[in-house]
């Protein structure tokens, strides 16, 4: 059994196709197939069910793949130790970020990070929380930018900042007359929500804790859900409803026709963190990313003036 063979099976699991996996490993398909077959013969089990498309791991193959990812991660530690000794920040870094953070947080630090660390090849994708957690569990992703706590034993969380929520309302809504909003002021039947699968949806719903208001919401004349905070804000501006937005999104609403209203203390908020697998070894890269994000945050998030009530995501 070799590290190369383990790299090949992990590549096939990732791409679900021998040809694409071979291309990603810069070898020919016959070479990759032969090495995987050799490994299967040596172990006496089938790692992949080749009758399925895309190719799927067998039950025992999945266990082998999970261990292979751990072995490959640990083998990379030697190179990482050398980089740390030389104080070198370089290599590949894959980052996934949730949609309610991506359009507001990424523009703050990406350009600066690339300028500071030109030897780092950064790959960024947008994904929902559950998908990021699964990718981190399987060591298919280096780090995730998402809302915590996750309560996942295999995942390490590095909190970055606490982000308060605000009400964004149309000028026609009664809420627009308020200077501060208390949670009892909110009627869910007027609220525009994110679609299922967004962790912020559950956080927002937890702000409106009245069971009675949720029952009434089913009879609301307009029930609309969107996967985009921006879409919800545009609808608010052209109607009588309201939505809940995080602080970074609020910064982009300054010149918009709706009204942004702060919550009375303790302000509902969410904890934003970088998360990685407990076995993740690129500590120098992780710390560089943490420091760069924190350095580029707005002053209001670096030195908050609110008392917060952090909302869970489950």
pLDDT tens digit sequence for 56-83: 999 999 999 989 988 887 777 777 666 6
CATH code of the region 87-160+272-301: 3.40.190.10
| Structure tokens that stand for 274 in this block | 């970088």
The model's confidence at residue 262, banded by pLDDT at 50, 70 and 90, is very high
**Residue given tokens 């609808």 in the structure block:** 235
pLDDT digits (tens, 9 = 90+) for 192-227: 877 766 677 777 777 765 434 444 344 444 455 567
**What is the arithmetic mean of pLDDT over 124-149?**
92
**What is the arithmetic mean of pLDDT over 272-277?**
94
Angle formed by the axes of helices 283-295 and 102-116, to 10°? 120
Look at residue 237 and tell me whether its pLDDT is greater than 90.
no
Q: From CA 46, how far away is CA 111, in angstroms rounded?
A: 45
- H/E segment holding residue 107: helix 102-116
Same CATH topology for 87-160+272-301 and 163-268: the answer is yes
Average pLDDT, the chain: 85
**What is the arithmetic mean of pLDDT over 112-136?**
93
CATH code of the region 3-81: 1.10.10.10
Give the CATH class of 163-268. Answer: alpha beta
Residue ranges per structural domain of the chain:
3-81, 87-160+272-301, 163-268
**Higher confidence at residue 242 or residue 254?**
242
pTM of the predicted structure, to 2 decimals: 0.72
């Amino acid at each position: 059994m070799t590290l190369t063979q383990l790299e090949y099976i992990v590549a096939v699991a990732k791409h679900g196709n021998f040809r694409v996996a071979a291309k990603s490993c810069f070898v020919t398909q016959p070479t990759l197939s032969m090495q995987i077959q050799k490994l299967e013969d040596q172990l006496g089990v089938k790692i992949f069910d080749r009758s399925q498309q895309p190719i799927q791991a067998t039950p025992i193959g999945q266990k082998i793949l999970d261990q292979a990812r751990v072995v490959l991660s640990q083998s990379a530690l030697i190179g990482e130790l050398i980089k740390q000794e030389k104080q070198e920040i370089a290599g590949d870094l894959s980052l996934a970020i949730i949609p309610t953070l991506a359009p507001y947080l990424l523009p703050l630090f990406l350009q600066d990070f690339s300028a500071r660390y030109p030897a780092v090849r950064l790959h960024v994708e947008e994904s929902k929380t559950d998908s990021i957690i699964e990718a981190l569990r399987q060591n298919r992703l280096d780090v995730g930018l998402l809302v915590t706590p996750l309560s996942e034993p295999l995942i390490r969380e590095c909190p970055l900042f606490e982000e308060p929520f605000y009400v964004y309302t149309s000028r026609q809504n009664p809420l627009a007359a308020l200077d501060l909003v208390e949670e009892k002021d909110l009627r869910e039947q007027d609220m525009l929500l994110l679609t299922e699968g967004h962790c912020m949806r559950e956080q927002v719903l937890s702000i409106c804790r009245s069971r009675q208001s949720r029952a009434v919401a089913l009879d609301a004349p307009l029930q609309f859900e969107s996967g985009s905070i921006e879409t919800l804000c545009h609808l608010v501006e052209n109607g009588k409803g309201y939505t809940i937005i995080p602080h970074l999104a609020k910064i982009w609403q300054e010149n918009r026709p709706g009204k942004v209203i702060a919550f009375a203390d303790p302000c509902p908020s969410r904890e934003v963190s970088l998360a990685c697998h407990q076995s993740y070894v690129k500590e120098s890269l992780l710390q560089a990313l943490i420091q760069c994000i924190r350095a580029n945050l707005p002053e209001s998030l670096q030195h908050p003036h609110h008392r917060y009530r952090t909302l869970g995501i489950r």
